[in-house]
A and B are shown apart, each in its own frame.
Chain A
Amino acid sequence: MIGLLSIVTFLPLVGAVLLLFADRQNEGFIKNGAFIVSLATFFFSLGIYAQFDPAQAGMQLVEQAPWIAWIGAEYHLGVDGISLLLVLLTTFLSAIAILSSYTAVTEYVKEYMVCMLVLETGMLGVFLALDLVLFYVFWEGMLIPMYFLIGIWGGPRRIYATVKFFLYTMAGGVLMLVGIIALYFASGASGTPTFNLLALTRLSLPFATQVWLFLAFAVAFAIKVPMFPFHTWLPDAHVEAPTAGSVILAGVLLKMGTYGFLRFALPLFPDATRYFTPLFAWLAIVGIIYGALVSMVQPDLKKLVAYSSVSHLGFVMLGIFALTSQSVQGAILQMINHGLSTGALFLLVGMLYERRHTRMIEDFGGLARVMPAFTVAFLLVTLSSIGLPGLNGFVGEFLILVGTFRVHALWAVVASSGIILAAVYMLWMFQRVMYGPMTNEQNRNLPDLTTREIAVLVPVLALIVWIGVYPTPFLRTTDASVRQLLQRVQGGAPSAEHENPTGTATGTKVADAELRDGGLRLTLSHSSLSDFAAASERRHGY
């Protein structure tokens, strides 16, 4: 009996293999076939959601079988609250991406669809693998179809971009491989060496070992995220990738980095995580502001969206490293949100590109008059991207910020300024593309969305609104697993870190137990606050 997780993971691959035998002239069959396979995968993944018990923190639907016996590597899959939503996002966006490329891809359609399906299996494997060797195989294996997607169906500088993407990610991956092997031997010190993630997370490694291994993993993940300053492969890859490639790249691939932190770096090396927290939090904050500023001045729509991803992923990283239940759950939700919003942005930019064969902002203007349906979709996605309340982005961002504020008010204050900047660069872009007079004659007769395009966009837009209005079903799935993760990360910490260190004015008066657990740390702002208080008291003569 094959488990559900295996079915979901390998169904696209099976579809890809079958497509290899299809007649390459029959493009309609190939396109529809690929779409049906991805759609079927999506429905099977909904089955995972149906069987998933959100009350349990641990791995569910686990499948385990011997694989490479002589080193102890296993075929080991499982899903928990951290990976479930990402699996759903992957199957959802893959189907959307395949449907979106019906007209965009005209050459080598068969190979293209095969690549897309193989890629889907790779991504799903990354999110489901619980054995480090298996994980590594998926992690690196997924690069190959992506390499071809950019390199064959990409823009003019596609070779430069795809080689850069491949080598950059590969460099990080190799470091991680070293880390995996070192971890394997380290685990041998207290028993049989193993690649089993669940067994490895129960280890308590010496601090020095943790630091080195954490760095080996973290660099690989940080490149993938991408975290400032490892982000420069992203704009190139995005600009050159075909639309569906960008959707998958932004929607899913980047999440593999943030997922890696949650699944591996944090629980495997809890002491090192706490040690590196300030560094990563500040890099994340720099990324938020830096990405937003650079995004603001981009003349190319795809580059603008690419840099905005650096900013948005900065929020996710900040949420992860703030290590509170709000911030981490917000970060997971924000991964989904970013996948939807940025995925949709790339879809929309792709639709413009198909019509006008340009992505330069200056070539557009006044499109709202000729493309009303497109305008509504674009507006909604833009607003979602800038975190307008009522749409998905707000819930994630707010949870990240409020969770961060609890422990480090200063981080949240600085990061919040990124929300202002997001409004600046997105609305300015929207204004230049959609508003104003129609200055370019070539835009005058642009057709509005086709039925297929509407079919591509509506599910994404519906989710954007749904998560904004009623995020409970999503947040419920992540709750227990995140709690367990945080216990693991903070388990070994000296207790002083947990207890309320202020213990004064605010601290003693706060009744909420949950607050005390996480440790209310307003220390950063506190000294300045008391100066301020003294000043204001003098002013009033108390």
Chain B
Amino acid sequence: MAESNLPLLLIPLWPLLGFLAIGFFGRRMSRSAVATIACGSVALSLLTSLWAVASLLGMPEGSRRIEQIIAPWIGVGGFQADWGLLLDPLSSVMILVVSGVGFLIHVYSIGYMHHDRDFPRFFALLNLFTFSMLMLVLANNYLLLYVFWEAVGLCSYLLIGFWFERPSAAEAGKKAFIVNRVGDFGFGLGVMLLWTTLGTLRYGDVFSAAPGKLDAGGALVTVLTLLLFLGATGKSAQIPLFVWLPDAMEGPTPVSALIHAATRVTAGVYMVARSAPLFNLAPFSMEVVAWIGGLTAVFAATIALVQTDIKRVIAYSTISQLGYMFLGCGVGAYAAAIFHLMTHAFFKALLFLGAGSVIHGLDGEQDLTKMGGLRRQMPITAITFLIGALANAGIIPLAGFWSKDEILFGAFASGHVMLWVFGAGGACLTGFYMLRCYILAFEGQSRNPHAHAHESPAVMTVPLIILAVFAFGVGFVGFPPDGSVYHHLVEPVFAGAGEPAAHGLGLMVAMAAVSLIMAVLGIVVARVFYLRRPELAARLVARYPGVYRVLRDKYYVDELYQHVFVGPIYRASVWLWRRFDEPVVDGSVNGIGGLVRAGSTLMRYLQTGYVMNYVLSFLIGVVAIIGYLALAR
């Protein structure tokens, strides 16, 4: 099975050991010991991952997969699921991103969480997350994927609610878990349907059996893929289940960077890409994926336009970028989607860590309207943030340009012109809100007289610089799309996805130019609005107050869910308890008891024990009989 002797289990094992060590003994360790164990374990993971990927690359193209079964897990009748790991090009990209970006964020957290009294708990959970995420992408079957799918959800729950004494944090953690459970409801049913139809959950068996056993375009595969996709919309915060991600910003900023931007939220994209052989059989599902992705990309971008909390701007940007990835998957450009996943991991982690650096420097201030002019006090943060913002906006030659452009090209080339328009429009919005965010924080005059901003320590800025280098340059591994290192590695996984129709180089360049122009347009408008003529923005708001309110209040989706689901279910439950369970169900039980008792009370009068009563009834009886006999005559 394995041509390599390297046990894949080592990769996730390190952070697991780190979690156990810190979890059990962390409170008795010094902070530097905790930090060393936490960062060291992820560093070991990274090294092991590099080694594993290197040995994978040493295998001949086309047969690059290492699968190792560790132990049987659940076996009942014909149902079998194992603890098994699979390394192929797709999971290679994922483990490198998770352990690489994860390592940098671990290091950064040493500085960011320095003053927190729950320092050990933070790193224990961060390690637990890294373990879970690595297992998620290394799992060799759907059930194990589901297990760690929920496990990363648990880590989100615990880390969003890390400052659990804040009611909003506790609430946000719970919300994230429950909204994800709604998605997992679909995913779980999808897994059941998958097993019921194919009799296996192992990727390899599923994908080889699927084309033979499932009718392409048939109802079964369509429902199956839509159920899986429901899970993805929960995990990756897409319409209609995106509502938890903005609230997840209650967690410490490194958590937002690692879990709610770079890795965990991309699990949905990974799952769809992993299931490409199934989705390819279900064109209708593909359309749904593409449209949900495209709509979410624009929808979230519009909300990001007017948010004033720096983390929320980036959070909505994350939702929007995840939308692009699904758009890519939906039009069959899986490789492009995973490419964007990778570049996004770098620049979005960079943006969040930059925001964290700002928040750290301003003693917890997150409101963009109370920042401004920070470029002078925090030069490293400012320049790296700008690189991240431009990469996110898709400016050539930064990383985001290559990957986003490839997705948009994929949409156009596959005939989804409308979605391409959405995507290009979204690029314009992205350029606007990213630069707005940068300008409000770093340019102009300070709007906060009390701020004594200071640049963050090296333990935080060095990860920023490294991420900035990647955000700048990582796009080149995917260029040009038909001959790059990246595509050589990953494309074979998606072979059979239907080759994208060959288009001339001219069209590609034209498309790229259009999306670039859109992004630059957004940036220019943002500069005008927030730097050159700041009064313009206010005037626009005054002109269209309704539009502004709708965007600011996020289209009232939270309120909608509150009124349609949460409130009614709660009231129904109270009603069931107070008006049904107590009076009706229990009432009838007690009623029967009461009836018996009432009956007994009545009967008791027959047996009073007084002779006089008995004589009386005797007398009545005699009189009645005599009377009857007399009258009957």
Contacts and interface: CB of A to CB of B under 8 A. Distances in A.
A405 B196 contact: yes
B586 A232 contact: yes
Given A325-B76, A510-B198, A427 B178 contact: yes
Contacts of A372: 27
A412 B189 contact: yes
B570 A296 contact: yes
Contact of A389 (B79, B147, B569): B147
A169 to B, nearest CB: 12
A24 to B, nearest CB: 36
B577 A511 contact: no
A231 to B, nearest CB: 8
Interface stretch (A3-11, A143-151, A209-217, A415-423): A415-423
Interface size class of B (residues with CB under 8 A): 35 or more
A52 to B, nearest CB: 18
Nearest to A472: B72
B416 interface: no
B74 A416 contact: no
Given A233-B589, A389-B151, A542-B217, A293 B171 contact: no
Given A509-B212, A511-B199, A389 B576 contact: no
A64 B570 CA distance: 55
B569 A293 contact: yes
B365 interface: no
Interface stretch (A82-90, A184-192, A491-499, A528-536): A528-536
Interface string A456-480: 0000000000000111100100010
B155 to A, nearest CB: 11
B78 interface: yes
A340 interface: no
Chain A, interface SS category: helix
Q: Which of B75, B149, B164 has the most CB of A within 10 A?
A: B164
B78 A294 contact: no
Interface string A495-539: 000000000011001111111001010100100011011001101
A409 interface: yes
A513 B77 CA distance: 10
Contacts of B161: 431, 435
A390 interface: yes
Interface in B148-200: 148-151, 154, 157, 161, 164-167, 170-171, 173-174, 177-178, 181-182, 184-185, 188-189, 191-193, 195-200
Contacts of A417: 185
B576 A294 contact: yes
A522 B178 contact: no
Interface string B34-76: 0000000000000000000000000000000000000111111
Contacts of B173: 431
Given A416-B185, A533-B219, A399 B74 contact: yes
Given A389-B150, A417-B185, A509-B213, A401 B167 contact: no
B500 interface: no
B574 interface: yes
User: Which 4 residue pairs are nearest across A and B when measured between Cβ atoms?
Assistant: A514-B78, A533-B219, A512-B199, A389-B147
Interface of A: 164, 167-168, 229, 231-233, 290, 293-294, 296-298, 324-326, 329-330, 366, 368-369, 372, 383, 388-390, 394-395, 398-399, 401-403, 405-406, 409, 412-413, 416-417, 419-420, 423-424, 427-428, 431, 434-438, 469-472, 475, 479, 483, 505-506, 509-515, 518, 520, 522, 525, 529-530, 532-533, 536-537, 539-540, 542
9 contacts: A232-B585, A369-B165, A388-B150, A399-B76, A427-B177, A431-B171, A511-B213, A513-B78, A536-B284
